[in-house]
Every structure is written in C-alpha cells, then in structure tokens.
Amino acid sequence: MRRTDAFVQEKLHVVPLSVSADKIAHVAMRCAVLLARLHNARLAADRSGAGPVVEVYPHASLRAWDLYRAGYKTDPDTLSCLVDDLRDTAGWLDYGPYERTIRRSHDAFDAVIAAMTARAAARNHTIPPGRDDLLAARTEGWIAIPNSPIAQLL
C-alpha cells in the first residue's frame, strides 16, 4: 500500500484499488508509458501532483464532494441520479451533447469527475502531501483529493 492510499483511506474511509488489481492494472501501465514519454520529452511530471500531471481517483473525489452514491457503476438509475446531483451541485456545469453518454456510462461520468479533480488541483484546491509524505509521494504518486466546494472550480 502506498502512502497516498493510506491517506485516502484515513481521510475518506475509501480503500483505493491496488495497481495490481484487474480493474486498474491496465490503466496503471498506460500511465507509466505516458509518464515515460513525458520524461523522454524532458517534461518530467512530479508524481506528488506538483505539476501538470495529477493522479485522480473519482471515488475519492465524489466522497470529498459528498456526492458518492453506492452502485452507480452497476445501476443505471443510480448513475442518472448522480449525474443530476452533480449538476445540482455545480450549476455552471453543462454536459452539452454528452449528457446522454454520461448518464449511460459510468466511465464517461468518471472522466468528468477526473477532469473536475484535475481542475481543482490546477487551482490548488486539493490536499497536497504533507512534509512527512512528500518524499514518498514524489516516487509513489499522490491522489489529488479536492478540499473545496465544486463551486470554486469555476
């Protein structure tokens, strides 16, 4: 377990998936390739989130924003309610022509949450690693957890 995983578990009572888990291993490998390409292009990313690349975990972001609904990944009605909850919370958010896709695909919805979390990180509205966690975060990575309301992302 990484330091960031323990932090997320302590802060939000959420256990992040292990990078060896079947549901995230492929994504983790793709991320490693992208980070290597950035490094080769002399655009190395600071894995602690202090830079242009941040690690996000939609479940943690939803918990931080008090939006999480259990079962949204398997129940279309729960997902649709969550899409409504997000729009109610972020009145400025416009799904545009993608609303139908977001209502039908938890992956598309998670992509929206990931983008919003990345925006929060860019605006310094996420919890950075503490002094004791910084060294580990630079090598292991750090999950960006929003620490301000969605309204401040605008």
Residues 43-61 have pLDDT tens digits of: 878 889 988 899 999 999 9
What angle (nearest 5°) sits at the alpha carbon of residue 75, between those of residues 120 and 58?
15
Q: How many domains does the chain fold into?
A: 1
- What's the pLDDT score for residue 153? 87
In the numeric block, which tokens belong to residue 56?
A: 């996000």
C-beta of residue 53 within 8 angstroms of C-beta of residue 137: no
pLDDT tens readout for residues 71-125: 999 999 999 999 999 999 999 999 999 999 999 999 999 999 999 999 999 999 9
- What's the pLDDT score for residue 19? 61
Confidence of residue 18 (pLDDT cuts 50, 70, 90): low
What's at 130, amino acid-wise? G
* Domain around 44: 3-153
10 vs 29: CA distance, rounded Å: 26
Q: Is 126 exposed, middle or buried (0-12, 13-18, 19+ CB in 10 A)?
A: buried
DSSP per residue, 73-102 = TT-HHHHHHHHHHHHHH-TT---GGGHHHH
Q: What is the pTM of this model?
A: 0.87
Q: Measuring CA to CA, how many Å separate 94 from each of 86, 112, 145?
A: 10, 11, 23
